[in-house]
A and B are shown apart, each in its own frame.
Chain A
Amino acid sequence: MSNSDENNKKPSGIEIFLTNLKHLPQSFKDAAVRHGPPSSNRAASQTVFSNLFLHIHSVRTHRYNFKKTFTVGLGIASAAAFVILVITGVLLMIYYKPSLAQAYNSVKDIHFAVPGGRLIRNIHRWGAHLMVLGVFLHMVRVFMTGSYRHPRQFNWVVGMILFAVTLGLSFTGYLLPWDQLAYWATTIGAQIAGSPVEITDALGITKYIDIGGTQMRLLLGSDVVGEEALVRFYFLHCIFLPLVLITFLGVHFWRIRKDGGMSRPSKITDDMLVGTPIDVAAEMAFPTKNKTYGLMCLVKGDSNNVKNSPNQTVQSWPHLFNYEMAIFILVLAILIVLSYVSDAPLKEAANPAVPENPAKAPWYFLGLQELVSYSAFMGGVAIPGLAVLGLMLIPFLDRTRNQSGIWFPDKDEKTVFKSTVIFSSIVILATLIFTVNFGWLRNWYPQIPQMFIVILNPGTVITSLFVWWSLRILKKTGSTRLGAMSIFTCFLIGFIILTYFAYQHRGPNWNFYWWPSLWPTH
């Protein structure tokens, strides 16, 4: 007895310390991650909801979300592009100097002297293009599958804000290299912000309320694009807009969860789920559909999950995360390949005396630039402003509760889509051909007051015909969804054709050319 007492004597402080030291990795891990490895459904669920970064996902994900033809992974791809942009952007900030004297040279240094600088800059540039494209296509997907419907109206609005901020980020980033392209694209952009002056001038009230001039001065910090503009754009691009984007991105993701997961049809048969991961246990566990289930699988509101058993769902860990990581890697791979194939442009240093000819905006603004070449205010402010406002309000004006989550659920939508594609293509092509061949009011009546041209120009003609067509569809079919479908399709086709036209067929002096190879050398 006394012997064993001696053996069980209190360990010395040093011994305790050594034992703790030995267990340090394990006890540290236990403190950080308070559950076992995600090998059981329970542990996998805990992994998701006890982790700050993962808990923005729900614990279980509906199998319908994994249908590759449904979302095409566009939202995740845009978010992945944003993450890559943040990483490369922060790296670029190490060498970039936002001052007139040094901006151009520092970008040149990044491109030609800094180790890996060219790759980082190229990835940043391609990432921006990909993000704009991804956000745009994501919006098209959400619209076409009717996923903006109740209860997701608000998230559609948040999405539109994110779209606008994404464009703002590209626009502000465009100036930073301070080359010819940057300088003149920004000059034009700033003047568009100032273009309400066209209206106030026509009304003769610019002296009293100069909306355009105020906006422009706020953006540039001056009357011309210079040092102040560079500093403001740098701040907007690197701090302000990214913070706004991250905030709204958080809301956007959070709302997906709170709105009951991604949209999906109310009745999903097994053959709609072919090729998606399956959780056999969940499919078998609850033969009756109306059984209430544990809190983890419930979400607020009258979403499809409430009072349903969790069949047709799988654990988010690992299925959803694998899917997301796969898309992230794919995006990264695409960006790296593109960056090796094609360099981000860097023209001569900005020269305020000689404009780049033609001074083209990045591709996603080219459609607007074509409209701006008819009227600065209508093309640059009024039409895009109305388009964005109209897009935002779609879920409140079309409150049908049809099937969501399916591309073209019935024949009517397909028919309206097809006829609208044909109609809008004809309208735009006819207007463009007419304008290129015969010019517009100013060519026929040089003395005509500007107000006439602001009101009646190719851009407003196209827009009015679009609105007329959609009202006609709305009246004929009696369906707000089909009306929304036609106006959305009109603007989609308009965007595509105008972008192509300005990219391919506009050359020096914004004249029409069949191919860039026909441009005169100057």
Chain B
Amino acid sequence: MEEKKKSRRNFISKFAPATFWGSLAVWGGSLLKFTMPTLLPQESKKIKLGMPEDYPTGTTKLFEKERVVLFVDNDGLFAISTICTHLGCVTKWTGKGFDCPCHGSKFNAQGQVVRGPAPKALKWFKIEKLPSGQLSLNLDKTVKLGVKEQFYV
């Protein structure tokens, strides 16, 4: 009888602080969760480009705000992101390639790394044709490097 009483007291005396620390941990964890953003406010990721005939071969168009350059060559249209894959600086289209001002990464006209610390090639984005016949650039969808779209007029 004595033994049992003692162990119950032991149990409670251990259980009480465990409850305290346990509830603190759960509460703290939920507070951490609170700081994790779920709403990521951002601009629309789709750019309306207009009709295919507006883009003859040889066109180069820079979308400064969206940080993307659109090219048209004999194989079709393609869009390359100007955001450096190293640390997010905006690279500059030089006519031959992309130069990053921050840490000296250089990319060729295809967006492949030529020198510097950038770990991978620049992103290529998907160009789609809307039902209206207009073209749209979708910054949510990337395509493989070298994929160019033909839109026959």
Interface residues of A (CB under 8 A from B): 184, 187-188, 190-192, 195, 198, 201-202, 214, 217-218, 221-224, 226-228, 352-359, 369, 372-376, 439, 442-443, 446, 450, 453-454, 508-511
Whether A373 touches B103, Cβ cut-off 8 Å, given contacts A188-B89, A201-B119, A223-B42, is yes
A189 closest partner in B (C-beta): B87
Stretch at the interface among B6-14, B53-61, B109-117, B144-152: B109-117
| CB 8 Å contact bits of B92-103 with A (1 = contact, 0 = none) | 000000011111
Chosen A-B contacts, 28 in total, with CB atoms closer than 8 Å, are A187-B87, A191-B87, A191-B88, A195-B87, A198-B119, A201-B120, A218-B36, A218-B37, A221-B37, A226-B41, A227-B41, A228-B41, A352-B90, A353-B64, A355-B89, A356-B101, A359-B102, A372-B87, A373-B116, A376-B86, A376-B119, A442-B114, A442-B115, A508-B101, A509-B100, A509-B104, A510-B101, A510-B104
Whether A373 touches B115, Cβ cut-off 8 Å, given contacts A184-B89, A191-B87, A354-B90, is no
Whether A446 touches B114, Cβ cut-off 8 Å, given contacts A218-B35, A353-B67, A509-B101, is yes
A457 closest partner in B (C-beta): B117
Whether A510 touches B102, Cβ cut-off 8 Å, given contacts A188-B87, A439-B115, is yes
B120 closest partner in A (C-beta): A450
Q: Report which of B40, B89, B115 forms a contact with A222, defined as CB distance below 8 A.
A: B40
Note all chain B residues with C-beta closer than 8 A to A224.
42
Whether A353 touches B35, Cβ cut-off 8 Å, given contacts A223-B40, A442-B115, A509-B101, is no
A502 CB to nearest B CB, Å: 11
B116 touches A442 (CB 8 A): yes
A198 closest partner in B (C-beta): B119
CB of B65 closer than 8 Å to a CB of A: yes
Residues of B in contact, count (CB < 8 Å): 28
Bound-state Cα–Cα, A454 to B118, Å: 11
A185 closest partner in B (C-beta): B102
B88 touches A187 (CB 8 A): yes
Bound-state Cα–Cα, A450 to B85, Å: 12
Note all chain A residues with C-beta closer than 8 A to B114.
442, 446
> What 15 new A-B contacts, CB under 8 Å, besides A214-B36, A442-B117?
A188-B89, A217-B37, A221-B37, A222-B40, A353-B67, A353-B90, A372-B87, A372-B117, A373-B103, A373-B117, A439-B115, A443-B115, A446-B114, A453-B119, A510-B116
A353 closest partner in B (C-beta): B64
Bound-state Cα–Cα, A446 to B90, Å: 21
Bound-state Cα–Cα, A262 to B30, Å: 41
Q: Which of B37, B103, B116 has the most A CB atoms < 10 Å from its CB?
A: B103
A376 touches B87 (CB 8 A): yes
Bound-state Cα–Cα, A473 to B118, Å: 36
B37 closest partner in A (C-beta): A221
B41 closest partner in A (C-beta): A222
Note all chain B residues with C-beta closer than 8 A to A214.
36
Whether A355 touches B37, Cβ cut-off 8 Å, given contacts A224-B42, A376-B86, A450-B119, is no
Bound-state Cα–Cα, A374 to B37, Å: 31
Bound-state Cα–Cα, A354 to B117, Å: 20
Q: Which of B112-138 contact A (CB under 8 A)?
A: 112-117, 119-120
B34 CB to nearest A CB, Å: 11
A510 touches B36 (CB 8 A): no
B64 closest partner in A (C-beta): A353
B101 touches A188 (CB 8 A): no
Whether A190 touches B101, Cβ cut-off 8 Å, given contacts A372-B117, A374-B117, A450-B120, is no
Main SS class of interface, B:
loop
B117 touches A188 (CB 8 A): no
Main SS class of interface, A:
helix
A376 touches B112 (CB 8 A): no
Interface residues of B (CB under 8 A from A): 35-37, 40-42, 64-65, 67, 86-90, 99-104, 112-117, 119-120
A358 touches B41 (CB 8 A): no
B32 CB to nearest A CB, Å: 9
A358 closest partner in B (C-beta): B101
A446 touches B104 (CB 8 A): no
Whether A228 touches B90, Cβ cut-off 8 Å, given contacts A201-B120, A358-B102, A372-B103, is no
Note all chain B residues with C-beta closer than 8 A to A372.
87, 103, 117
A443 CB to nearest B CB, Å: 5
Note all chain A residues with C-beta closer than 8 A to B67.
353
Note all chain B residues with C-beta closer than 8 A to A195.
87
Note all chain A residues with C-beta closer than 8 A to B102.
184, 188, 355, 357-359, 510
Note all chain B residues with C-beta closer than 8 A to A443.
115
Bound-state Cα–Cα, A191 to B86, Å: 8
B89 closest partner in A (C-beta): A355
A446 touches B35 (CB 8 A): no
Note all chain B residues with C-beta closer than 8 A to A218.
35-37
B117 touches A446 (CB 8 A): no
Bound-state Cα–Cα, A228 to B41, Å: 9
Note all chain A residues with C-beta closer than 8 A to B37.
217-218, 221-222, 228
B122 CB to nearest A CB, Å: 14
A354 CB to nearest B CB, Å: 7
Q: Report which of B35, B40, B89, B112 forms a contact with A359, defined as CB distance below 8 A.
A: B89
A506 CB to nearest B CB, Å: 9
Note all chain B residues with C-beta closer than 8 A to A453.
117, 119
Note all chain B residues with C-beta closer than 8 A to A223.
40, 42
A188 touches B88 (CB 8 A): yes
A283 CB to nearest B CB, Å: 51
A190 CB to nearest B CB, Å: 7
Across chains A and B, which 8 residue pairs bring their CB atoms closest together, nearest first?
A: A357-B101, A510-B104, A191-B87, A373-B103, A191-B88, A450-B119, A353-B64, A510-B103
B48 CB to nearest A CB, Å: 19
Bound-state Cα–Cα, A173 to B89, Å: 20
Note all chain A residues with C-beta closer than 8 A to B90.
352-355
Bound-state Cα–Cα, A221 to B89, Å: 19
Whether A190 touches B112, Cβ cut-off 8 Å, given contacts A222-B37, A358-B102, A376-B119, is no
A232 CB to nearest B CB, Å: 8
A213 CB to nearest B CB, Å: 11
